[in-house]
Amino acid sequence: MIPLATARALVLVSLAAPIALAQSPWTRLGTDLVEPGAFTGMGIAFEGTTLLAGAPYSVSGQPRSVFDPNDLDPPGALLVYEEIGGAWTLTQHVQPPDGVPADRFGVAVVMSGDEAFVSAPNAMANGIRSGAVYRYERGGGQWIERQKLVPQDAQNFGGFGNHIDIDGDQLLVGAHLHSDAGIREWGRGFVFERTPGGDWVEAGALVPPPMPDEAWAGYRVAIDGDRAALGVYGDQTNGGGAGAVCVFDRTPLGWVPVQQVLPQRGTQFAHFSFSLLLEGDLLVAGSFRGGVERFHCGTLHVFRHDGTSFQEVQELLPPGKEYAASFGETAWLSESGELLAGMPGSDRIGGRIAVHRPLPDGTFELESLQWPPQPEHVACFGWKVRTSNGRIAATAAVAHVAGERRGAVYVGDPADGGHESPRCAGSPGHGAGPQEVMLRSRGRIASGSASAEFVVTQLPGSAMTLLFAGSPNGAKDAFGFGCIGGPRVRLSAPAAAGAGGSVTWSLASTPAASLVTAGSTWSFQAWAWDGAAAHHSNALDLRFEP
């Protein structure tokens, strides 16, 4: 073990008062017309300067004081935001004219140019609650309803519209509660295509092979050209609630199931396929309760098509295998090929977004963790994630707004503000190979004070731990000390890990609180020892903007 005393001091100029640190790079969009419990952002679409957010538990778009929430079950609403003069403005509140209580209008939203589709899986049509998808067109600065899509084989409470996906002139709609041939809640998908006149008509159905009751095929859907996928949320191949993906190819005879996709490590109640992406030879499916045994941290499984079938090439886990992080509850592929994974259960359910860069071998590598704009317990930041022109739109479906849990929608440019960039997996005894020791930050750097907290977890019981900071760009020194290159400063006295194997520090109580300069980047790392064994965590690169 290398003596801690050999670590060289980091030479910085002390400031008389702390520099005003970065404001959050995230802009919260106004939700004045959404009442408590609306679940704003359960459905979301983002293109350029337009963002559409579904609020499926919204009653009428009126402030709570003007209605009695016990009078009716909320029908849902769509909030339209436009970026005007650099500021995001709520420009329209949309509800279908035939909407009724409990429609859940806004559960899923997709947009393509001046056309948008909003689902209502409990909507009334032809006297039954079959569910429906409403098509809107933008004209004169307003979104106008043009069509209500309902399948020919509609069923009462069939769940039509629980999830939707669009690819050019094709729209795939899941109906996960659809029953047939005596199989209860078997599920299926319905494909609609655009006609030359602009309307959309049903053009085919995706029917998976016979499955047990409550397979829920179509709980999540994805389509790309002549290939489509249904998330079979209730598949029991790997145990109850394990989940699967059914892949279809379009043939002259229609849509034909060609593969059941399962993760290499499937477990009971993992809920594999809770998130689903399909693009070219890439298939990504999330298991928000999967992961390492006992951790239930969530996973993303990356598959590549080898010309014959999809084969798993990677299993992504959240940093530190954080318990109940719900990693992969939602996933999104950016225009530049980055894979974003929502972690709404991360950091005591405040939420995070993990951004992964693509690698030449077809896998992904964690690039950064985007933290929520305000530290809040049970905000679920990262519930839904979308990107457009390098910016990220993210929702926190149960965040407090004006003192009530209305849910919130945020837009941010990760290049404009502070973020975590984990580097160098922890390793025992300074050797190679990952381990579970993990450093994370909690909250955010508040303006005018360095108020962030750091927590290191998965430590051996009673291990002694120190927190260090240094330059992430410094040259590696002769000691080979963890993940920070070059000189570093010790920020804490030795602290013993608690019974839960964790230690927490406040940046405000360390020398860094008065040494951080605006525009700088610091790297933080925990170093621990337990008897003769030494451990180091990952490093967190934290960027401070003026």
Least confident of 135-139, 250-254, 432-436: 432-436
What per-residue confidence (pLDDT) applies to 348? 61
> How far is it, in rounded angstroms, from Cα 370 to Cα 410?
12
Best CA proximity match to 173, nearest among 120, 98, 212: 120
Specify which residues 166 forms β-bridges with. 171
The band of 519, judged by pLDDT with boundaries at 50, 70 and 90, is low
Calculate mean pLDDT across residues 235-241. Answer: 89
pLDDT at 188 over 50: yes
Q: pLDDT by residue (tens digit) across 241-279?
A: 899 999 999 999 999 999 999 999 888 889 999 999 999
Longest CA pairwise span in the chain (Å): 78
Question: What is the arithmetic mean of pLDDT over 44-73?
Answer: 70
3-state SS, residue 491: coil
- The mean pLDDT value for 312-316 works out to 96
Arithmetic mean of pLDDT, 368-381: 74
CA within 13 Å, CB half, 363? 9
Residue 197 has pLDDT above 90, yes or no: yes
- Residue 242's contacts (CB-CB under 8 Å, 6 or more residues apart) are 235, 236, 266, 267, 268, 269, 270, 271, 272
Mean per-residue pLDDT over the chain, rounded: 81
Residue 135 confidence (pLDDT) above 70: yes
pLDDT at 331: 97
Choose the weakest-confidence range: 27-41, 176-190, 253-267, 471-485: 471-485
Show the tokens assigned to 13: 């100029």
Confidence at residue 153, expressed as pLDDT on a 0 to 100 scale: 94
For the stretch 477-514, pLDDT in tens is 433 445 676 677 888 888 888 877 888 888 777 766 66
Would you state the pLDDT for residue 441?
Answer: 64
Say which DSSP state 76 is in. Answer: B
Q: Quick one: tokens of 328?
A: 């992969």
Q: What is the mean pLDDT of residues 106-111?
A: 97
Of 260 and 33, the structure prediction assigns the larger pLDDT to: 260
Tell whether the model's pLDDT for residue 343 goes beyond 70: yes
Q: Which has the minimum average pLDDT: 4-18, 132-146, 218-232, 370-384?
A: 4-18
First to last CA, the chain: 39
469 and 524 in contact (C-beta within 8 Å)?
yes
* Percent of the chain residues past pLDDT 90, beyond the cut: 48
pLDDT of residue 259: 98
- pLDDT value, residue 156: 95
Report the distance separating Cα 58 and Cα 53, nearest Å.
12
Mean pLDDT of 441-469: 70
Looking at residue 420, its pLDDT comes to: 61
Model confidence at 435, in pLDDT bands (50, 70, 90)? Answer: very low
pLDDT of residue 522: 76
Rounded CA separation 76/119 (Å):
10
d(CA 216, CA 233): 6
Pair 193, 200: CB distance under 8 Å? yes
Q: Closest Cα partner for 387 from 304, 330, 445, 314?
A: 330
Higher model confidence: residue 144 or residue 487?
144
How far is the C-alpha of 150 from the C-alpha of 173, rounded, in Å? 10
Q: Which residues of 432-462 are buried (b: 16+ CB within 10 A; e: fewer)?
A: eeebbbbbbbebbbbeeebbbbbbbbbbeee
Residue 113 has pLDDT above 90, yes or no: yes
pTM summary value: 0.80
Residue 442 pLDDT:
56
Q: How far is CA 312 from CA 264, 339, 416, in A?
A: 7, 16, 35
Q: How far, in Å, are 61, 114, 137, 179, 433 from residue 140 at the CA level? A: 22, 11, 10, 42, 58
Burial class (CB in 10 A: 0-12, 13-18, 19+), 127: exposed
Place 155 in a pLDDT band, splitting at 50, 70 and 90: very high
Residue in 6, 94, 82 with CA at minimum distance from that of residue 56: 94
User: Can you tell me the distance from the alpha carbon of 310 to that of 259, in angstroms, rounded to the nearest whole number?
Assistant: 8
Report the run of H or E that residue 297 belongs to, with start and end: none
For 288-309, how does the pLDDT look when each residue is reduced to its tens digit (9 = 90+)?
988 876 668 899 999 999 999 9
> What is the reported pLDDT for 117?
98
